[in-house]
Amino acid sequence: MFPDGRYVSLRTRSLPRHIPEVVDALVQGAKTMTSPLSAFSVHHFHGAATRVPWEETAFALRKPPMMAEVIAMWTPETDGGRHAAWADAASAALEPHASPAATRTCWGLMPPTRSLTSSVATPARLLAVKDTVDPDGVFQGIPLPMSAPRAPEPQVT
């Protein structure tokens, strides 16, 4: 889907359903697309992931919405800023109809207004998983909620 040598800027929005305003925003976004390599991917968020009770996972969203991905893709010789701006504008057009509590397929460079904490029902569970798989805090590309300071380990003498 993302061949080597191409640049990609991706935004996601969780939408409750295909209402006319969402369809209009997608059509307008398609009409203003800045690259023939760009696309929208609209698919269901459904199945086993929606059947897990929210208190048993780090993510609050359990309803089966539509997931819209705004994918700007371009080659190195073109103006990347123009294509990323298209993705931002297309995503912004969907925002009034999107759920603020969204499971993100791609967190990457989220605007500050879409912090991870808005989509996490149980940040403590998310941080526990993070501490287990990355105890040294090496991976920091996704903005996570702040954890409480840890008490110093007792010194053994």
Residue pLDDT, tens place only, 7-36: 999 998 888 878 899 999 999 999 999 999
In this structure, is residue 148 part of a structural domain? no
Inside any domain, residue 147: no
Within a domain: 78: yes
Asked if residue 2 is part of any domain, the answer here is no
Structural contact between residues 39 and 10, judged by C-beta atoms closer than 8 angstroms:
no
Count Cα neighbours of 151 within 13 Å in the Cβ-side half-sphere.
3
Q: What's the pLDDT score for residue 141? A: 64
Instruction: Look at the pTM and tell me if it is higher than 0.85.
Output: no
Domain harbouring 75, CATH code: 3.40.462.20
Q: Which domain holds residue 44?
A: 7-133
Residue 43 makes CB contacts below 8 A (sequence gap 6+) with 66, 67
- Whether 24 is covered by a domain: the verdict is yes
- Decide if 117 is inside a domain: yes
pLDDT score, position 145: 63
What is the pLDDT at residue 3? 83
Helices 80-94 + 20-31 axis angle, to 10: 170
| Total tally of structural domains belonging to the chain | 1
Q: Can you list the residues of the chain whose pLDDT is less than 70?
A: 54, 57-64, 100-122, 141-157
pLDDT at position 37, please? 95
Each residue of 85-100: pLDDT tens digit? 999 999 999 999 987 6
Q: Domain for residue 73, yes or no?
A: yes
Strands laid side by side in the 66-74 sheet: 7-15, 66-74, 39-44
Alpha helices by DSSP H, listed for 18-105, are 20-31, 48-51, 80-94
Q: Is residue 40 part of a domain?
A: yes
